[in-house]
Each structure stands twice: as structure tokens, then as C-alpha cells.
Amino acid sequence: MLLQNTLKLPIAPDVLVPLLEDLERIAPCLPGASIQERVDDRTYKGRVTVKVGPVTVKYDGVMTVLEVDRAARRLVMRGEGRDPQGAGNASATITMTVTEDGEGGSVGSIESDVAITGRVAQFGRGLMQDVADRLLSQFATCLEQSLAQESRPEAPEGPPLPQPTPRESSVGAFGLLLGVLWRRIRRLLGG
């Protein structure tokens, strides 16, 4: 299934592209994602956890940065994961192109070719697109707040972006789905 998203940030494209390459640095901003190990400069082992009501699905896998073209402001990544309990698999090839927004910020056009099997596969493309939009919105907000903290003179030395908490984080997909359904109802009612 092909998902298309847009990410808007008040960060210059020439600053954003190198930041997006640094998966260890930005992973804490993506709900439910964590980096477990850096294999090499472009390959990372990690986990994504999705919680839907009482059901939690974990994907342990590998994310690889396949292509970085800083001149064209284009990144291509490939992620593959398996539920350690055999409840399904997920893979995605993600292509992001960053352009200027005309106000000093960036617009990232993201195209994700996603394949999912198992329990999460029951959700339709439309619902998955809405959930992806919402997750990217949360990611953008976290990234923007983290960079604002970094730029303050009193910001402490050390890792610039938030670090994962000791307990494993997860995506509250039930809450996300309710939010998505509410937005769809409002659209149908013309509000």
C-alpha cells in the first residue's frame, strides 16, 4: 500500500536533511520507536511498538538509510520488522524529498510503500493514512520543540534531542484511531 504524507517544519531544509539522516537522534521523537543498536553508519536495529486497545504489537527490525542526496534534499530508507511472537511482519520503503516553504522552513514530501501482515493488516489504507498523518504531526511537534530547546543558551550539553524513557514507549493507537474516526465524522457532517 502506498501512503503519502507531508511534514512541515520551521527548520531550514539544509539543516533538516542532515538531521533526518541521524536516526539515533530523531527516533525518540517518533511515537513508539526506539533504536536498540547501530550496526554501521546507515543501518540500525530497533523496535516499533503499536498498542491497539488491549493488544500490543511489537516489530523488531532493521532500518537502513539507502540513499542520501543532500543536493536534491532527498532521502530513501528501508525498514523491515517482525513481531517476535510471530503475529506479523511489516516493511516499508520511505522516500522523502525536502523543499523550502518560502518562509525559511521546510516541507517534506514523504512517500511510503508499506507492506503489513498480521493483526495490524486488518486496517484499511484510508485509516492507516490518517494514523500516519497523525504520527508525523506528533513527530514534527517533538522535533520542533527539541530543536527549540537546543537553541536556548542555557541548554545543557549532551544529547540534543530527548532520549527514550527507561520503560518502552508505545503508540497509543486506540487513541489515534478514535481521533481519526472523529475527524472523519466531522468531515462527513461538513464541520
**Is residue 43 situated within a structural domain?**
yes
pLDDT, mean of residues 54-64: 82
Give me the residues paired with residue 48 across strands: 33, 59
Query: Residue 82 sits in a domain of what CATH number?
Result: 3.30.530.20
Specify the length of the chain in residues: 191
Domain count across the chain: 1
The three three-digit cell numbers of residue 91, written as one number: 516493511
**Is residue 138 situated within a structural domain?**
yes
**Is residue 62 situated within a structural domain?**
yes
pLDDT at 31: 83
pLDDT at 97: 95
The three three-digit cell numbers of residue 81, written as one number: 520488522
The mean predicted confidence, pLDDT, of the chain is 78
pLDDT at 62: 95
**Is residue 156 situated within a structural domain?**
no
Burial of 69 (0-12, 13-18, 19+ CB in 10 A): exposed
DSSP string, 14-72: HHHHHHHH-HHHHGGGSTTEEEEEEEETTEEEEEEEEEETTEEEEEEEEEEEEEEETTT
Instruction: Tell me the residue type at 151.
Output: S
Question: Whole-model pTM?
Answer: 0.73
Domain range for 109 is 2-151+162-188
pLDDT, mean of residues 91-98: 93
